[in-house]
Amino acid sequence: MSEFIPETKTSIWMNGEIVSWDDAKIHVMAIASVSCAIAVFEGIKAFPTKDDLCVFRLPEHTKRLFNSAKMYGMKIPYSEDEVSNAVVETLKTNDIHEECYIRPAVYPGSADIRIKKMVGKTPHLAIIVRPWPEISRKDLTLDESARRVFVPSWRRISSDVMVLKSKCVANYANAFLAHIEAKQRGLDGAIMLDNQGFVCEGPGETVFIVKDKQLLTTPIYSPILASITRETIIEYLSEDMGYQAVERLIERSELYTADEIFNCGTGTDVIPIVEVDGITVGDGKTGPITKQLAEYYREVVTGKVSNYQRWLTPVY
């Protein structure tokens, strides 16, 4: 049986204690039950700045983690400040100074296979940090990292079926099905539609299209995650750059005639899409607005834009 052995075995914060990678374990019954399916999590990034490592929009991510848990009736046994401080502590303990990904996870951890026995239980909390180069190559240019995607047969689940504003593990089974189809077709990703046929989001990222210098994206009331990167672009960065961001329903056909398309998210930052369903987007290269936005976003997260240094939580 193969086992994932990372290049760097980082220490992990579990229920108030720092433990080694090898000692960070849960009972097999917690996996055999449905408790893993109702786990909630966050994806957070930290970036090197001129003042050393800083976490981008940590309070906002922590708030969303608490909201995700609340929607599933889980009360995290720590305050938001305590969890944010635990993130910083975990990074310090691992002496990380390079770009890294942070994954807090809240899970029932119950050894009981009956769903009703998990309701109201005090959940567990773990915080994992991983150096970003071990997860994704960062030496690629935008054109080299550009995605060829398609519209999968699987539709995005609707918000009357699951709580889609919660980053719940169960929601990502839907995304996993889209990834399976993409891999079978030799593609890089997918753009999922909602149950009415409108553009929704990627399996794990927001989708924007650029048309006539407007940034168009799905409205927040649609079955999408309330992405923090999405909000950063809509409410702040697009205005700084002189572009109007518009939230409206987007038809599938608009993907084929867009000037540019890009994904955004904590893990991806801003990444271009150059093909949808075999149809070339624009000239098949990173569009000028996508390029400008990707570069500006990078300046913001690395502390080079003074107006947004308030979003950076220093680690050291």
| Own/partner long-range contacts of 244-247 (Cβ < 8 Å, ≥24 apart) | 244/213, 244/214, 244/215, 245/214, 245/215, 245/216, 245/217, 246/214, 246/215, 246/216, 246/217, 247/216, 247/217, 247/218, 247/219, 247/220
Structure tokens belonging to residue 269: 């930052």
Predicted pLDDT at 306:
96
User: pLDDT tens-digit profile of 177-233?
Assistant: 999 999 999 999 999 999 999 999 999 999 999 999 999 999 999 999 999 999 999
The amino acid at 277: D
Are 188 and 268 found together in one domain?
A: yes
Domain assignment of residue 7, yes or no: no
15: left (phi over 0), alpha (psi -120 to 50) or beta: left
In terms of domains, do 160 and 256 share one? yes
| SS3 (DSSP) at 133 | helix
- Domain that residue 286 falls in: 142-301
Does the structure show a pLDDT above 70 at 259?
yes
Residue-level pLDDT at 262: 98
DSSP conformation class of 198:
B
Question: Last residue of some domain: 95, 115, 134?
Answer: 134
Is residue 167 part of the annotated active site? The answer reads: yes
Same domain? For 207 and 269 the reply is: yes
Residues in the chain, overall count: 316
Same domain, residue pair 158 and 111: no
Taking only the tens place, the pLDDT of each residue in 17-68 is 999 999 998 877 776 666 678 899 999 999 999 989 999 999 999 999 999 9
Mention every residue, 6+ apart, whose C-beta is less than 8 A from residue 58: 44, 84, 87, 88, 313
pLDDT value at residue 116: 74
Predicted confidence at residue 137, as pLDDT, reads: 59
Would you say residue 231 lies in a domain?
Answer: yes
**Catalytic residue among 167, 183, 211, 213, which?**
167
Task: Specify the pLDDT at position 133.
Answer: 72
Label residue 2 by pLDDT band (50, 70, 90): very low
Q: Are residues 81 and 18 in the same domain?
A: yes
CA–CA separation, 293 vs 270, rounded Å?
7
From the list 118, 126, 140, the residue with the least C-alpha distance to 37 is 118
Its pTM stands at: 0.93
Q: Per-residue pLDDT tens for 81-131? A: 999 999 999 999 999 999 999 999 999 866 677 777 777 778 999 999 999
Determine the pLDDT at residue 103: 97
Please tell me whether residues 101 and 167 are part of one structural domain. no
Q: Would the pLDDT of 3 be above 60? A: no
Of 134, 159, 180, the position where a domain reaches its end is: 134
Do 180 and 279 sit in the same domain of this protein? yes
Residue 155 CB neighbour total at 10 angstroms: 18
Q: CA separation (Å) from 23 to 35, 131, 177, 297? A: 20, 19, 32, 37
Whether 5 has a pLDDT exceeding 60, the answer reads: no
Per residue in 283-302, pLDDT (tens digit) is 999 999 999 999 999 999 99
139 pLDDT more than 80? no
* Residues 6 or more apart in contact with residue 30 via CB below 8 angstroms: 36, 107, 108, 109, 110, 111
Report whether pLDDT(6) > 70: no
Using DSSP's 3-state secondary structure scheme, residue 43 falls into coil
Number of domains within the chain: 2
Model pLDDT, residue 226: 95
Degrees, nearest 5: CA angle 100-184-259: 70
Q: Which of 109, 134, 159 is the last residue of a domain?
A: 134
Q: What is the CATH number of the domain that holds 152?
A: 3.20.10.10
Residues 6+ apart with CB under 8 A from 95: none
103: left (phi over 0), alpha (psi -120 to 50) or beta: beta
Q: Distance between CA atoms of 181 and 203, rounded to whole angstroms?
A: 11
Q: Are residues 234 and 279 in the same domain?
A: yes
